[in-house]
């Protein structure tokens, strides 16, 4: 009974803080993920993301990240915008419309962690927001928050896939939730629509071919062999999510921090051409675009304007 009460306390506080969904899983070794991750790395699907090669064991066992870890609390926060971009040149991924999610979610997790200590007891743990060796989608799946779609994204059966995923790994034992079934069926819309054919098999994404990798992670020149294949994406790519039938259930986020205040979704090529580095840093000081930086964005814009990608 106490375990259920603790689960309810944590879930209710997380929902009060603005998280949309909460799930619990036992902090054990991810046996199913181990061979998949090893194969993915051996195929060099991580490209130049060398950090993916580090901390292999920690990615699979949360007890190596948190002493005496008992439970992984997975949390989803919706970022689907109220209004989509009205232009196709250039395109910016929806997750970047507002403030950087790392800071927004970390603040919420700090409050949640303090709440747990105050209301449950001496509970120790760590918060993770896509910034440490944690396989967030695997944990979210294990805790029943959705299934892994053929595009590699977590899909919630009622609200689609436009979510940020975060975790609290704690040394408090809580009753785990079970996984749910996969509802993708025979649909291959995401595979068929990928502009660079980065989805090489159901649930397997070759990151080194993904537009998000090229426009965000890659720090060197984009291979010329991909010119004309970016479908005007200048930062990230939402194509595989946009075509997913389950995202017809997506609802606008209630998190004000993810609402665009800088007209980013509707900036045209001419708007970007007028921006100096000083203006860029001031305009996007709290934006995910800082990850790529001014020079990176300019590189991406120049690349997609080649071979006729830029509309006449």
Active site residues: 130
Q: Which residues contact 273 (CB under 8 A, 6 or more apart)?
A: none
Q: In residues, how long is the chain?
A: 312
Residue 162 token pair: 């436009």
Q: Write the CB contacts of 102 (distance below 8 Å, at least 6 apart in sequence).
A: 129, 130, 131
Looking at the DSSP assignment, which residues form a beta bridge with residue 142? none
Q: Write the CA distances from 271 to 125, 258, 262, 265, 268, integer angstroms.
A: 45, 22, 12, 11, 5
Q: Quick one: which of 308, 298, 306 has its CA closest to 274?
A: 298
SS3 108: helix
103, 166 Cβ separation under 8 angstroms? no
Query: Token pair of 101, please?
Result: 């999610």
Q: Do 65 and 58 form a contact (C-beta atoms < 8 A)?
A: yes
């Amino acid at each position: 009974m106490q375990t259920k009460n603790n689960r309810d306390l944590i879930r209710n506080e997380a929902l009060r803080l603005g998280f949309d969904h909460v799930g619990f899983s036992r902090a054990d070794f991810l046996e199913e993920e181990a061979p998949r991750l090893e194969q993915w790395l051996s195929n060099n699907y991580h490209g130049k993301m060398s950090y993916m090669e580090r901390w292999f064991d920690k990615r699979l066992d949360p007890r190596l990240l948190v002493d005496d870890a008992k439970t992984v609390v997975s949390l989803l926060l919706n970022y689907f915008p109220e209004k989509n971009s009205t232009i196709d040149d250039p395109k910016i991924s929806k997750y970047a419309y507002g403030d950087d999610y790392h800071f927004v979610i970390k603040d919420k997790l700090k409050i949640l962690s303090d709440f747990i200590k105050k209301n449950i007891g001496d509970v120790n743990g760590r918060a993770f927001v896509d910034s440490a060796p944690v396989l967030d989608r695997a944990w979210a799946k294990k805790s029943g928050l959705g299934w892994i779609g053929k595009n590699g994204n977590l899909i919630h059966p009622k609200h689609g896939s436009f979510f940020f995923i975060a975790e609290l790994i704690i040394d408090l034992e809580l009753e785990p939730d079970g996984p749910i079934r996969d509802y993708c069926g025979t649909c291959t819309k995401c595979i068929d629509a990928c502009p660079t054919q980065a989805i090489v098999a159901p649930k397997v994404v070759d990151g080194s071919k993904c537009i998000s990798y090229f426009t965000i992670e890659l720090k060197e020149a984009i291979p010329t062999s991909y010119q004309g294949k970016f479908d005007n994406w200048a930062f990230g790519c939402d194509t595989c999510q946009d075509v997913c039938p389950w995202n017809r259930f997506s609802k606008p986020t209630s998190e004000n921090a993810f609402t665009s205040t800088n007209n980013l979704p509707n900036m045209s090529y001419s708007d970007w051409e007028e921006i100096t580095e000083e203006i860029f840093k001031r305009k996007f000081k709290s934006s995910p675009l800082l990850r790529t930086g001014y020079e990176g964005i300019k590189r991406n814009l120049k690349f997609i304007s080649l071979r006729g990608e830029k509309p006449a």
